[in-house]
Structure 1
Amino acid sequence: MNRSSLRIAAALMLLVLAGPAAAKADIAEAARLGGPLTPVGAERAGSKDGSIPAWTPGKQRGKLSGEFFSDPVIDSEQPILVLSASNMSRSLERLSEGHKKLLSLHPTYKMLVYPSHRPVAMPEAIYAATKANASLCELHGLDELDGCSVGVPFPIPKSGPEPIWNHKLRWRGDAVRRYNNQMIVQANGQYQLTKILEDVQFTYGSIKKPVTLHRGDAEFLRYLASTIAPPRVAGTTILVHDRAGTGSEGRAAWLYTPAIKRVRRAPTVCCDNPAEGTDGSQFYDQVDMFNGTLERYNWKLVGKREMVIPYNSHRIGSNTIRFSQLARPGHLNQDLPRYELHRVWVVDAELRPGMAHTFKKRRFYLDEDGWNIVMVDNYNNRGELYQFQEGHTQFGTNILASSAAPEVIYHFDSGRYFVTAMFNEDKPYDFTPDYKPDFFTAATVQKRVTK
């Protein structure tokens, strides 16, 4: 098939996918939320053998700024299992392909497995909105949302794209300011650091200013990233207005670089284009584990699995650990991460005919309690496992939300890895900002960076 025919086939496929909306939950299904299902769609009960406990939501405590995530009971525990290359054969069905490869490649790689805990909770307003979304929220094609408001859009998913949208629109507070330190670690363990300050306004999922997404009017996030160091990239600024949809209805982005000294539109802030300042270590659609449009892939909801995943990883993200303690040759310092057995949703993404991406296939693993993507197996166009992403999930009792910090991308072709979302040596997340309406505009950014 020639290139022209491929484009036509891809366009026809888009028309098919943009047709009817995915089926919504009926009244009986939605009624299960808050009963046998948690208010956001996880199984309330534990596993049959008791290795995964029943959901025991944590209570809100702590200040909205100045606090690192912690749990004294969980953080005082000792591992119940140490997985290594010598004993992983007994747990293969519970390991991602990425973890299997890391265990096989590196004699020094291990996984400290701890007792499982399910404290992830969200505010009551998110629960109420999620129950309404179950019967009202619609996904047209892959990237158009309609009738979704504030909460988890698809708590009872029926198709592959829906869990991914649950991740993209999960509750993370109304707004946040955070430090994002990034580390490119070479195969020998040497690394270079980049420091970024990020401001985010969650226009969807905001309890203070709730909005409903409609087709053609579906902005869900505004993001501003300012690079502080090293000097060669300091001053680089990225502004994003993220919207459900593709083309002109989808993401709008702007970039400022000190060399050009003006803010300009940046359509390349997308897909498998290397993220600014990462030396090719991270694609834009790998930020926050996955944040791009879904249009390039066919998506399949594989189902649920019990798997060993990074979870309740307070120590690795705390101010007691220095950046230098994280980096080791070939992989993270595996004395620091915490792993637990949990149920995850598994979603496969296969590159569609006529579409281009470095990854031919991606397998996503999502925590059932918080809808965070916690791991991704990425395959190249030869079908080889090319990269592995790992998000070390923590639960913030101050905001009642979970997030991954740090995130890691292992590059199996070069032996290096990339660590992002680190703030150990800086201030923790600040959930108190109240941004002015023009804070996230290109004009305001231009004034700020040139004054």
Structure 2
Amino acid sequence: MFGISGHALSKVTSTEAERLDKELTPVGAERGGNTSGSIPEWIGGLKTPPKSWRKGQIETNPFPDDEALFVITSQNYHLYRDKLSDGHVRMLEQHGPEFFMPVYQTRRTAAFPEHVYAKSRENATRAELLDNGNGVRNTIMTSPFPIPKNGLEVIWNHILRYRGTEVAFRSASATPQTNGSYNPVVNDYEYFFAYSKKGAELSEIDNKIFYLKTDTISPSALAGTITLVHETLDQIRSPRLAWRYDAGSRRLRRSPNLAYETDLPNSSSLRSVDQKDMYNGAPNQYDWTLKGKRELYVPYNAYLLHDEEVRPDNVIRPNHINQTLTRYELHRVWVVEAKRRTGIGHIYDRRVFYVDEDSWQILASEEYDEAGNLWRVSEAHNISYYSEPVFWTTMEMTYDLKANRYYIDGLSDGFPAYDFKPAFRGSDFTASAARRAARR
């Protein structure tokens, strides 16, 4: 196990970095499969879209003939206990038999552009954690620590993983009632990843990771609400900047509390702000411990959920989503535990994250309350996108085990495919630009 305090030099030697072209992949995963063959060798990921896909379309399933190898249920999960997270065991126990886990052939699809791999190799020998791990330096474009030595490095790998340079999309979120009824909230999202822009230098991006603007489309009571976020690399030196335009008051106001344990807007208090994207923001409220690696059944290659014909009514069920649309695979994950620091008032006393070795995407997490009880279980269902080779979420959810409710984001009601080339400019994400957009 690893912890960290004070200043830590995190870069690796050039000799260690050479492993990224040998037994490790360019992003730091084990290139080889496991001894049983149930996890295959990584041979480059899904680099070529399936013939069924056309540019501008929603991603089609590259494995249409795959069928589940077996299904883990509340009756047989003990047979697979060593490859299940505590969160998934609890979901099976509490919500079985309706909650089950169809397990498919493991396909290591995560792939990124070659220039991203080149930066990963550079970051390995240059990147360093700042004092107390509250930021990083000498890194750009992608995850800074492909050969991590502690839990903070793994979390920063997730926070700074490559998701393209820019993207625009529409999606819906919901917080279903215990009977399954729901009222979706539809938002337009616009991201500009300054940190990942090709050719950018750390000195040029003004301590920014990305800019995000969301515009609420429906329901009518919320329509016109705009949120603008400037996500910073060192959030202790320069905290996250956020503004919110309320259509009712017709004013754009700073939102200084849009961080940490604050309720995520429109989540019915079922998810905190720092759970968006599974984990985001400054890591200074927790002590982080790297627990090592495990082979786990985790959400992966969620093309059934991503299908262009799937609508919210197909996905949403009481207590949890429609598990017939899910796909779980056996993958190696880094396990990171976060323990709340003394004197910090966050609602989660302890958190456990399961981070994909092939992409640095958090695939699942567990959130514990003051008394040490498992309170919430979160999942990220991911795919490899085609128009820009990135491995990213298509749908996320947080299950509240006490309320028997959940928050879900990434629902589609016939929305267009993600646009990874919307041609944004940095000036599109200023407060004045948001104010002008609100007045149109």
Q: TM-score under structure 2 normalisation?
A: 0.95
Aligned-pair CA distance for 1:190: 1.2
Deviations 1:278-313 (A, max 9, x none): 221221111111112100000011111000000011
Q: How many angstroms apart in 1 are the aligned matches of 2:351 and 2:410?
A: 22
Q: Secondary structure at the match of 2:184?
A: strand
| 1:27 aligns with one of 8, 11, 14 | 14
Which residue among 424, 430, 446 is the counterpart of 2:435? 446
Deviates more, 1:270-279 or 1:355-364: 270-279
Query: C-alpha deviations, 1:83-124, integer Å up to 9, x for none?
Result: 001110011121111111111012211110001000211100
Cα offset, 1:246, TM superposition: 2.7
| AA aligned opposite 2:276 | V
Give the Cα separation in 1 of the matches to 2:252 and 2:54: 32
Cα distance in structure 2, aligned partners of 1:197 and 1:206: 22
| CA–CA distance in structure 2, aligned partners of residues 247 and 59 of structure 1 | 38
Structure-1 separation of matches of 2:291 and 2:237: 32
Q: Which residue of 1 aligns with 2:123?
A: 133
CA drift of 1:69 comes to 2.3
**Residue of structure 1 in register with 2:355 after alignment:** 366
Aligned to 1:237: 226
Cα distance between partner residues in 2 of 1:23 and 1:368: 18
Aligned residues of 1:359 and 1:380 also touching (Cα < 8 A)? yes
Match of 1:50, SS state, is coil
Mapped pair 1:161 → 2:144 = no
Q: TM-score, normalised by structure 1?
A: 0.92
Contact 2:110 2:390 in 1 (8 A): yes
Give the equivalent residue in structure 2 for 1:289.
Answer: 278
**Counterpart for residue 422 of structure 2:** 433
Is 1:124–2:114 an aligned residue pair? Answer: yes
Q: Which moved more, 1:257-266 or 1:330-339?
A: 257-266
Tell me the SS of whatever aligns to 2:195. coil
Is 1:55 aligned with 2:72? no
Q: Secondary structure at the match of 1:100?
A: helix
Q: Supply the distance in 2 between the matched residues of 1:333 and 1:438 (Cα, whole angstroms).
A: 41
Which residue does 1:403 correspond to in 2? 392
In the alignment, is the contact (CA less than 8 A) between 2:387 and 2:420 conserved in 1? no
Paired letter, 2:176: V
Identical-residue share of aligned pairs (%): 34
Letter in 2 for 1:365: Y
- What's 1:86 paired with? 75
Number of matched pairs: 433
Q: Do structure 1's residue 189 and structure 2's residue 180 form an aligned pair?
A: yes
Q: Aligned runs of 1:226-305 on 2, under 5 Å?
A: 226-247=215-236, 249-305=238-294
- Shift, 1:18, TM fit: 7.1
3-state SS, counterpart of residue 257 of structure 2: coil
C-alpha distance after superposition, 1:357-405 (max 9, x if no partner): 0100000001110110000100011101000100011111321111111
* AA in 2 matched with 1:337: T
CA deviations on 1:148-192 (whole Å, 9 max, x unpaired) are: 011321100011111111111111111000112101111111111
Checking the alignment, whether the CA contact within 8 Å between 2:259 and 2:273 is kept in structure 1 is yes
1:41 aligns with 2:28: yes
Q: Deviations over 1:56-107 (max 9, x none)?
A: 22224488962222343x2321100100011100111211111111110122
The 8 Å contact of residues 224 and 237 in structure 1, kept in 2 or not, is answered as: yes
| Distance apart, 1:277 and its partner CA | 2.1
Corresponding letter in the other structure for 2:70: L
Query: Shift of residue 428 of structure 1?
Result: 1.6
Q: 1:437 to 1:216 in 2, by over 3 A?
A: closer
Q: Which secondary structure state, in structure 2, belongs to the residue aligned with residue 130 of structure 1? A: helix
Unaligned runs of 5+ in 2: none
Q: Following TM superposition, by how much is the alpha carbon of 1:230 offset from its aligned partner in structure 2, in angstroms? A: 0.5
Amino acid at match of 1:265: R
- 1:76-115 alignment to 2 at 5 Å? 76-106=65-95, 107-115=97-105
Match of 2:135 among 144, 156, 160: 144
| SS across alignment from 2:121 | helix
